[in-house]
Structure 1
Amino acid sequence: MQRTILSATALLALIATGAVADDQKHATAEQPFKNVKLVYDHPLPNVPGKSMRGVLVDYEPGSSSPAHLHPESAFIYATVLEGAIKSQVNDGPVTTYRAGESWSEYPGDRHRVSQNASETEPARLLAVFVVDTDDTDLVLPFEE
């Protein structure tokens, strides 16, 4: 467990400094979440069938992501790296998170609001997933 936490912390540091290569896997062109980029994908050797994946989400000023959910196996820890992001998970309050602040999402959660809180500045977040290795689509649209 401590090794997993240390791995996630190291991943955050690498991404925040730009040390992760840009030639990693990207979201598919047909996916409506074009602002999502997979930057880290590694099976967890001590948890067979599970992987850790890091996803960068970039928001242009005033932009948002459609309402979405994640695979049923996904536990997510999201941290704002730049700017401010409004987020609503399930029926909770819409909360604005600023650079350095974070939240978690649990298996089965619905992410109803995910948007840049600014009309003039970009925003960026890192979402670290612990997910079944076979789950390859990390962001899935849903209708209310």
Structure 2
Amino acid sequence: MKRTLFSLLSLALPFAAMAAPPAAPEEHVAVNFSHDLPNVPGKKLTAVEVTYPPGGASAPHHHAGSAFIYAYVVSGSIVSEVNGGGEHTYKAGESFYETPGSAHQVSRNGSKTEPAKLLAVFVVDSQDTHLTTPDH
């Protein structure tokens, strides 16, 4: 009996280790600014600061259908993939954009040892309250 139990555990342990890899630390998101655009009725501008701890990442997500996004890497490096276009690493001082309705498959800190910070500026319909929705 002991030998059979040991054999079963020996077979099961490798599968248990593969089942749930440790999750990356999550990002911290803070709205820095949000205001209706008086010269563009029905639109607002919202600036969001995203801070990634070392090894941190965002879950795959998509943005509001009306959202045009300008992203600027403030510090560190950010690895991003939008709409299946392949991963690209952006370093401090570099920027990229996302068109309305984009799917963001990858958004993570490019470093396992240093934090990273991104400023995302959204131009979005005023009634859109959810700028980001996780993909499940």
TM-score if structure 1 supplies the norm length? 0.75
> Runs in 1 of length 4+ with deviation above 2 angstroms?
none
Say if 2:63 and 2:132, in contact at 8 Å, map to a contact too.
yes
| Structure 1 position 60 matched with structure 2 position 40 | no
| Structure 1 position 98 matched with structure 2 position 98 | no
Aligned length: 111
- Deviation string for 1:50-88 (max 9, x for gaps)? 000000000000010000111000000000000000000
**Distance across 2 between alignment mates of 1:131 and 1:43:** 9
- Once the 2 structures are TM-superposed, how far is the Cα of residue 98 of structure 1 from its aligned partner? 0.3
**Distance across 2 between alignment mates of 1:82 and 1:124:** 5
Say if 2:64 and 2:131, in contact at 8 Å, map to a contact too.
yes
Point out where structure 2 has 5 or more consecutive residues left out of the alignment.
1-25
Greater share of strand residues, 1 or 2? Answer: 2
Matches for 1:1-144 after TM superposition, within 5 Å: 35-143=28-136
**Partner SS, residue 129 of structure 1:** strand
**Identity across aligned pairs (percent)?**
54
- Deviation string for 1:65-119 (max 9, x for gaps)? 0001110000000000000000000110100000010110001110000000000
Aligned partner letter, 2:29: V
> Superposition RMSD on alpha carbons, in Å?
1.0
Point out where structure 1 has 5 or more consecutive residues left out of the alignment.
1-32
User: Hey, what does 1:21 align to over in structure 2?
Assistant: none
**Partner SS, residue 100 of structure 2:** coil
Say if 2:82 and 2:104, in contact at 8 Å, map to a contact too.
yes
Higher-Rg member (1/2): 2
**Distance across 1 between alignment mates of 2:55 and 2:91:** 15
Say if 2:27 and 2:53, in contact at 8 Å, map to a contact too.
no
